[in-house]
Structures are given as structure tokens and as C-alpha cells.
Amino acid sequence: MKFKNLLQLLDHFKDEETCRAHLEFKRWGGQPACHHCGSLHVYRTNRGFKCGEKLCGKKFSVLTGSLYENSKLPIRVWFGAIYLITSAKKGVSSLQIARQLGVSQKSAWFLNHRIREMLKEKAPRMLKEEVQLDESYYGGKEMFKQKSKRQINVKGKWEDTKVPIIGIVDKEGNVVLKTIPWVTKKNMAKIIDTHIEKGSIMVTDSHPLYVHLRDSPYYKHQVVNHKTEEYVNKDGFHTNTVEGVFSLVKRGLYGIYHSVSEKHLQRYLNEFCLRYNTRKIGDDDRFDITFRNCEGRLKYKDLIKTNDNEFRRSDK
């Protein structure tokens, strides 16, 4: 199905019956399977399906076990929100979703985060060959915050509350963005081992954090010394691509969302990664890909229960 804009999508998915039929095809390939036991011996009821196995016999629907489960919003609204989020180049706020789809801001905010769960990759993305690696920091300076929100340590100095973000980009333009509690060699090593294939050429700036990579037997290290105004080294390597990714992310975070708490920051980064890694395909294809990751349910109480300081203070 090819949709050039939101209006065409909503015209096609005009009722719940059409939406459910599309979900059944995407989840089951047209052959319903019991969510509880996996049996194909099922039959349709007035509200969904029922397993025909004697040991099971449970009722279920196409929404059971998915991110749409127990949602009071029409599936048509879900489809509209998915299209808006995946097609917006720098993201779309919950207020904008609420205005365009006619729901409350609270519902739109929860809807956005449940869709971001669909955008999250199920397995770590491995990058190889020539890989650019850099770090950035999200969060305003303490001196510009309200006095009640400034964090001051025991010595009377302002704490550094910015959240470190590690960016990795390969030669094909695939990107990985990860938040880490603290910028340390230990935390950096975990990111490198998880997302960079051994034998790759790793391009970084001259930050002392990367000095140990020069003696690594697993990677070839190329350094671009920005302190001497070097932006392309003598071998032709640079970090311009990963810096461009950070620029795009920060324009989205500050320009669209304005303020993002650190406990939800990784979800927003997953959203930016999906759009960036699929930038060469159409909005309709990106919308279609999103349906492959609809398994699992994100509850509201699980979304909001994380402590603000739990992420950064748990490991140093």
C-alpha cells in the first residue's frame, strides 16, 4: 500500500474493521494463531477469536500481546500517530499529535512512547569497516536554570547534570545512539564491544577517552585533532557525519520536544535512529516496517515509575 500523505492513509483505514484486517495480515499472515499456545486451531467469535484446543480454549484478539492491547483509542488513531511520528524528519510533539488526531495531550504522550517501543531495535545493530565514534551531552547549563532546579554539591559548586550520548556511524550511514551513565573507559568499552565489529577502523577526535584505542589489537584507530583545527586528517578520515547526526538530534530535542527527561531520553534517541537509518525509503515503507515490532505491551505505570536519578547514579 502506497500512501503519499496522512489524508490518504486515514481514507484507506476508514473504520475499525479495515484496521483489524490489516493487523491480522501483518501479525499472522492471514492465518490467526492462538496468542497463548500458538495453535492454528482457532475460530472467530463476535469479539475476536477463541482457541479450539481443549487444553487451552482461551479467547484472544489481534490486539492481544501487542502494543495496542487494552488501548481505548481507535486503531485508526494509532495508525495516524505512527505515520506522523515516522514521517516527521525531526519528530512531532504530543501536543501536535493531540491537535491533529483529536485526543488529549496525556493520551498523545503515552501513545507516542508506546510507538517508540515499536521503533526500538530488538537486537543490537553491529557496525563495521569504517566507523565514526563521538560523544555529546544533552541538558542545559546549571547557571541558566531556575534556582529551585539547580543542583549544588557539598562544596557549593554546581553539579554536571548533562546526560552523555554516544554516537556511532558507519560508512553506509547507519547510526547507533546510546545514553551512558558516565563517560568512562569501562562504559565506552561496553558500547564498542556491543555495536562495533572487531577489525573495523575507528575514527574519533583527540579526546583522552579514546587514547587506549591506539594500542587495541581489535581495532585500527584514526584520530582527527580538532584542537589544531584539523577536520580531515592526512589519511582522509573525519568525524563530520556523526557530528551531523548530533546536530540533527539536538535540533529535534530542543526545537520540537523542548525538554526531555533523562529517563526517557533513550526512547527519543531510538526514534531518531529509526528515521535516520530508513531515510532512503519512503514514508509509506517506513510506516509498514514499524508494524513488525508491535509485539509486547508497555503499561503506563511501567513508563512513569523510573526514578529521575536512577539512570545516571546507578553506575560510575
β-pairing, 175-179 with 163-170? Answer: antiparallel
- In percent, the amount of the chain with pLDDT more than 90 equals 9
Q: Are residues 159 and 25 in the same domain?
A: no
Q: Are residues 194 and 258 in the same domain?
A: yes
**Would you say how long the chain is, in residues?**
316
Q: Are residues 155 and 276 in the same domain?
A: yes
Give per-residue pLDDT as tens, 213-222. Answer: 777 888 888 8
Q: What is the pTM of this model?
A: 0.84
Q: Are residues 111 and 222 in the same domain?
A: no
Q: Would 60 be classed as within a structural domain?
A: no
Q: Are residues 91 and 183 in the same domain?
A: no
At 180, is the secondary structure helix, strand, or coil?
A: coil
Cβ atoms of 31 and 25 within 8 Å: the answer is: no
> What is the mean predicted confidence (pLDDT) over 140-146?
67
**pLDDT band, very low/low/confident/very high, at 143 (cuts 50, 70, 90):** low
> What is the mean predicted confidence (pLDDT) over 252-269?
87
Neighbour-count burial for 275-290, b at 16+ CB within 10 Å, e otherwise: bbbbeeeebbebbbeb
Q: Are residues 91 and 164 in the same domain?
A: no
313 DSSP assignment: H
- Which residue segment(s) compose the domain that 202 sits in? 130-280
Query: What is the C-alpha separation between 208 and 196, in angstroms, rounded?
Result: 20
Cβ atoms of 171 and 132 within 8 Å: the answer is: no
For residue 234, the tally of other CB atoms under 10 A from its CB is 7
Q: Would 148 be classed as within a structural domain?
A: yes
Q: Are residues 95 and 197 in the same domain?
A: no
Q: Would 236 be classed as within a structural domain?
A: yes
Q: Are residues 154 and 209 in the same domain?
A: yes
Q: Are residues 139 and 241 in the same domain?
A: yes
Number of separate domains in the chain: 2
Give per-residue pLDDT as tens, 55-90. Answer: 888 888 888 888 888 888 888 999 999 999 988 888
Domain C-terminal end among 89, 119, 149 = 119
Q: Are residues 136 and 180 in the same domain?
A: yes
Which of 249, 245, 242 has the alpha carbon at shortest distance from 131? Answer: 242
> What CATH number has the domain bearing residue 185?
3.30.420.10
Q: What is each CA distance from 115 to 58, 145, 226, 297, in whole angstroms? A: 27, 31, 38, 10
Q: Are residues 88 and 137 in the same domain?
A: no
